[in-house]
Amino acid sequence: MGYVAVKGGIEAIENACRLFAWERSKGTSEPLTTNQIRDQLYLAVDRVMGEGSLYAPDLAALALKQAAGDSSEASFMLRAYRATQPRLAYSLPATTEEMRIVRRISSAFKDIPGGQMLGATSDYTLRLLDFELLNDDAARREAFRKKIFSSLPSDVEIPETFPKVIDILRREGLLADSLPVGAAAEPFDITRQSLAFPAPRSAVLQSLARGETGGLLTLAYSSMRGYGNIHPTLGELRVGYVPLRVAHPVTGKPYTVGEVKVTEAEVLARFEGTDGMPRFSLGYGLCFGQNELKAISMAVLDRTTRTDRPTCPAEDQEYVLYHTDGIEAMGFCNHWKLPHYVDFLSDLDRLRKAQEIARMEDCHVAE
Amino acid sequence: MLLNEWLDQETQQAGGYPYGFMDDGAKKDIRRCLLKAVAIPGYQVPYGSREMPIARGWGTGGIQITLSLITPDDILKVIDQGCDGSVNAVNIKKFIQEVAGVEITNDTPAATVIQTRHRIPEEPMSAAQILVLQVPYPEALREVEASEAETRRMHAEADYSRMWLHLYEDIVNYGEITISYRYPVTVNGRYIMDPSPIPRWDVPKLHMADTLFLFGAGREKRIYAIPPYTRVEPLEFEDHTFRVEDFSGKSCARCGAADTFLDEVIDNAGGGRSYFCSDSGYCDKRAAQWNH
């Protein structure tokens, strides 16, 4: 009987890490480049950037490659990388009215100013496997491109920006006024402070924006399905590029430093105003990249957690914010694989003692 | 070491990462929280927990404390469930060594900083040493109250009646307090504190100790501390006193120790049991003496 707990640990661990790298590279297929991942698996990249809360498409692609496609692991790597970067500045508030739109729909009105723009989506496809993709190559792509570009109309003008649907409702007094930003000039920063409850809205939105898609969906779905009372209408969903500006450290003048691709969802739900006038209230969702499922779920949860008296998990701010961070949840779930010898022995000690007491009591009863 | 020398070393990057992995602002932030924690023994200080390249629940709170304190002069020991060679301890040591370039030891008295999961070393630690404990659940009251907003209120008002009731109900149901590890303690007569999942065996070591104990919960974003020479009392009743794990009649099959916390090991399919020291560094030392 060897002393297993001590011997061989280091070597076994190193071999396990090496074996993982080997599994990823042992096949005869061509090595996957990060460019390929970034361009061809862009929705996976978007998801990793959102959950990892760092807008870095190339690094997200690298993380996906290194993690062999495990999106939780990839998001986790990106988050960890983020912790090494200093906080230089906060960007100036961006308005999505300026968004360079690639997709924009409303399910509230049939026709909206600027029009519905379906953009690139799989929503209306039949989910049938396309066996042609089994033989994807340069020639096939070239033919596909030719076909697409040959039939494009050349005289369609696309506006620079689109008006927001909710602004129309707000002008008509159908939608509650936007919530006050609060006295603080700077938002609550969840990466620098830990949450306190009730959490300020800026903290809620930050937490949800980097929440795990599946986790947000589960809770939002529970509310839509019946554990809650939110029946959302999608006022507007838009995907596109938003310019990002920072104030010049000396002059204070705004400078555009780049743009980020985001998905924004605004859901409407009915409520009774404090003045007794019924109006719609707004749930807001925004996340990096194109991730519509997440933005809609986030918007629903933003709305549900603003209930005064929560009656179900999706309405409980603490419940929602504490349990939707995928990186924390996956880490803690995985930690049960670590040794728990000491704890378990301590448990055994208590159990044996409790059994001893129970047996003694049985004897007394028998007498 | 002079501050300037230290700052110079700080700028030397480890594999493209800053010294101690986190950016300087983050480390300073954590040190401030540590000071507050020391000033209010047993109080959970909320802090902006950073993501480590090691998963949440694997000691990220402890790692952040260690990385914010460590200098290249330090000698580090890391144990997991008492063992220096355990999977997680090895992984953490490798990481800290990579980003902070410190010397590693298995010898408790030789270390300046010891990071641990679920154990306190058997050998007594000195006033010159710091023990950093990894904490999965910083809230001792979580057993009786799920909401963080509510437990913070309970602490603020020292409203601990539900905790005492919980212990009382335990005795009514099982004849004894059944809390095995993570045994709640009162620190400095004020805060009820979770001592991390150390066995009850280790709880008395926290009381009036020479050493500074720092507790880091990365996922839950809390830091707390027990400064040296602080009263640390396990919750108990006069007629149901706190008791440590019972190893009477058992001893380590390797070094012979009869006064240490023992791991129970199943020897064979027949279910035979043998016992070994949980503190592998201490056991190695004793076994080496035995062989001489």
Over the stretch A257-292, which tens digit does the pLDDT of each residue have? 999 999 999 999 877 666 777 888 899 999 999 999
Assign residue B122 the CATH number of its domain: 3.40.50.11310
Among candidate residues B61, B83, B252, B281, the one labeled active-site is: B252
Q: Do B264 and A347 touch (CB under 8 A)?
A: no
A201/A303 same-domain check: yes
**Is A40 a member of any domain?**
yes
A15/A111 same-domain check: no
B32/B86 same-domain check: yes
Among candidate residues B20, B218, B255, B281, the one labeled active-site is: B255
**Is A259 a member of any domain?**
yes
Query: Could you tell me if A338 lies within 8 Å of chain B, comparing CB atoms?
Result: yes
Residues of the domain holding A70: 9-82
B199/B276 same-domain check: no
Closest partner residue to A346 among B48, B199, B222, by Cβ? B199
B292/B212 same-domain check: no
Residue finishing a domain among A286, A308, A324: A324
Q: Do A347 and B82 touch (CB under 8 A)?
A: no
Among candidate residues B20, B42, B62, B216, the one labeled active-site is: B42
Q: B280 near B249, Cβ under 8 Å?
A: no
Q: In chain B, how many domains are there?
A: 2
**Is B79 a member of any domain?**
yes
A49/A100 same-domain check: no
pLDDT digits (tens, 9 = 90+) for A297-338: 999 999 999 888 899 999 999 999 999 999 999 999 999 988
Kind of pairing between the strands at B113-117 and B130-134: parallel
Q: B28 near A56, Cβ under 8 Å?
A: no
B24/B86 same-domain check: yes
Q: Do A350 and B17 touch (CB under 8 A)?
A: no
Q: In chain A, how many domains are there?
A: 2
B188/B279 same-domain check: no
What is the pLDDT averaged over residues A73-102? 91
B82 is catalytic: no
The Cα–Cα gap between B87 and A8 comes to: 10
**Is A42 a member of any domain?**
yes
**Is B157 a member of any domain?**
no
B264/B228 same-domain check: no
Predicted pLDDT of residue B144: 95
Residues of the domain holding B270: 248-292
Q: What token pair was written down for A266?
A: 């605004």
**Is B155 a member of any domain?**
no
Contact map slice: A 254-283 vs B, CB within 8 A? none
DSSP secondary structure letters along A89-106: -PPPPP-GGG-EEEEEE-
B252 is catalytic: yes
Predicted pLDDT of residue B289: 86
A203/A71 same-domain check: no
Predicted pLDDT of residue A47: 98
Query: Could you tell me if A334 lies within 8 Å of chain B, comparing CB atoms?
Result: yes
B200/B280 same-domain check: no
Q: Give the amino acid at A49.
A: M
As beta bridge partners, residue B117 has B80
The Cα–Cα gap between A93 and B79 comes to: 46
What is the pLDDT averaged over residues A33-45? 97
Does A1 have pLDDT greater than 50? Answer: no
Q: What angle do CA A113, A115, A118 make, to 5 degrees?
A: 145
Chain A positions in Cβ-Cβ contact with residue B136 (cut-off 8 Å): 332, 335
A177/A75 same-domain check: no
List of residues 6+ apart from B290 with CB closer than 8 A: B255, B256
What is the pLDDT averaged over residues B236-241? 94
Task: Select the residue from B181, B221, B246, B277 to test the A interface by mutation, using most A Cβ atoms within 10 A.
Answer: B181
A201/A299 same-domain check: yes
Reported ipTM exceeds the 0.95 cut: no
